[in-house]
Amino acid sequence: MKFDSFNAKPQGQSAGALSLDGWDKSESQPEVSHVSSSQRELTGHDIANLRPREFRNVSLGLELYAPGKWHETKNSRSLRLHDMATGTKLKAKGFARQDVSIEKWVGMRLPMLTKEMPEMTQVAKPVAIQGENWGSRVQGIVTEYQGRLPGDEEDSHLLICCLRTDSMLISVTISAPTPVFAMNRAVYNWIFSRCDIGMAFPVLPALPASTRGTGARHQPAQDSYDYVELGNLASGMRLLNVAMLMFGGIVWSVQHFHLRGTQAAIMVFPFLALVAVMSLFGLIRVYRGADWGRSFKIIVGILAFIPFFNILAVLAINLRARAILRAEGYKIGLLACKEAIPESNHDMSNVIMLTVVLILAEFGYASYMNSRSSAAPESALTELSVPGQHFSISMPGEPVEQRLAAHAGVSNHHTYLSRAGKLQYAITYFDLASKPDEPGLFLEGIRDGIVSDLKAIVIEDNTTMLKGNAGRSMVLSAKGEIKKVTFFLAGKTVYLIEVTGPKSEEHSPRIAAFFESFHLN
């Protein structure tokens, strides 16, 4: 095929020479020239330098060559190529239809294009073209349009080629900004000359509208899942998978860093909210992209927001979505199918941006809280060692002794209190009349009494030992505060060490230093 490089007409024929009404008459057939792709017949272009590669859509039987750097997106009824550098776009779309003449196909397609792009004006009448290997199998007619699309700052030029075989109707559209189009017109002509239509791979037959909502895959008469539907399916699957990974990261962080209390809630809640929003939008996109049964949608939608069951829900969605995308000829990556997601979809960039903002905000909050903690005045630790007693412990400031009333079976009952900043420190000791026969049960009784008196929620409860003496270590939440308690039974003497303060101070190093300073002599 040869085009005049300035007016895109077959050489030797005017733009209006072809009469569609006379397509079947031999005298109306244009003269064409077959040109080998190995020749440098394109003005100013060497095709080898463009590193062309073959692009296929087996459902359409379409094969074409284009520069290898062009990005490909396709489904069972369309093929899209995009050159990021120049803004050139190629769209090929078709469907099975027998015994439709080429002039009727052009009469169908051009009004559709005018309706889709009312800003574009036809600047050349349709003319016949002939590809390298078409022979009598493929017939083609091409025309061109020019105009300024909404949002663009310059005019665009468009070539649309209607191709027809005995069983398939395909349109191939190439568009680019007008200056780019003028420079690369010969390349676009070469792409048309090398495209071909072979045996189409059979796709699922169309289903009647009554099957919608029954779980059966719906397919309109002319189109399978279109570009937008598959894009929704792929982008929704990616959102769900990323949300699951983020949720796992949040759970791991809470457990690994022992996050508790109000500060932890402030740190974790924004990320949980982001995961919930991602999951909701992911489900909506997936449901738009695949016509699954209502029962499946409801069950999966509920399970998606229940911990642990959400893993099963996302797995079920992935299995079904991957099956659809594979059937459409896409390759599935780790998180989703990137090629099926439209370039206009910015879900992941938005997620990344929000995550970075949250991380920076959390970092600022943590820095602020640390600065407040470090700025708070701290009293020097003073070792407390009571004469006649067999323990020592370091407490801030000057501990205040409280002699408590005697109880049946209890003697020598004392408590020493100290307050520094937001924390209150205390150590209590008392003697029993005799050593308990079962120390473990005795310690459990103390634990139950503490929980009952404080009406507290037990966050942690562990057994411990100190120089062979059994003990318990607990973390309690009561009345908006955190209380850490450790108690031991040494012979007939009970030692109870505790710190009370706001939840934000739960992991303060001062608390750890206080408990570690307790020794039995």
**Helices (H), ranges, 121-212:** 178-194
User: What confidence tier does 156 reach under pLDDT thresholds 50, 70, 90?
Assistant: very high
Q: What is the pLDDT of residue 374?
A: 53
The reply to whether domains 20-197 and 381-520 share a CATH topology is yes
Give the start-end residues of each E strand in 41-111: 52-57, 62-67, 71-75, 78-83, 88-96
Closest CA to 128 of 209, 39, 26: 26
Which DSSP state fits 105? Answer: H
Compute the radius of gyration of the chain from its Cα atoms.
Answer: 38
- Sign, CA dihedral 489-494-495-498, equals positive
Does residue 219 have a pLDDT over 50? no
- 64-73, 340-349, 373-382: least confidently modelled range: 373-382
Q: Tell me: the pLDDT tens digits for 334-367?
A: 888 887 787 778 888 899 999 999 888 888 887 7
* Residue 329: band (very low, low, confident or very high) from pLDDT cuts 50, 70, 90: low
Which single residue is written with the structure tokens 């992941």? 348
Alpha-carbon gap, residue 25 to 28, rounded angstroms: 6
- Has residue 229 got a pLDDT over 90? no
Residue identified by tokens 């459409």 is 328
- pLDDT exceeds cutoff 60 at 444: yes
* DSSP symbols for 463-483: EEEETTEEEEEEEEEETTEEE
Q: Would you tell me how many other CB atoms lie within 10 Å of the CB of residue 164?
A: 24
Q: Where are the domains of the chain?
A: 20-197, 217-349, 381-520
In CATH, which superfamily holds the domain spanning 20-197?
A: Mog1/PsbP, alpha/beta/alpha sandwich (3.40.1000.10)
Whether residue 382 contacts residue 398, with contact meaning beta carbons closer than 8 Å, is answered with: yes
pLDDT class for 323, splitting at 50, 70, 90? Answer: confident
Above 70 in pLDDT, residue 179? Answer: yes
Q: How would you list the strands of the sheet with 481-490, edge to edge?
A: 400-403, 410-420, 423-432, 493-502, 481-490, 469-478, 457-466
CATH number of 381-520: 3.40.1000.10
Closest CA to 420 of 385, 381, 372: 381
Q: Which residue, among 219, 164, 199, 166, has the nearest Cα to 58 in the 3D structure?
A: 199
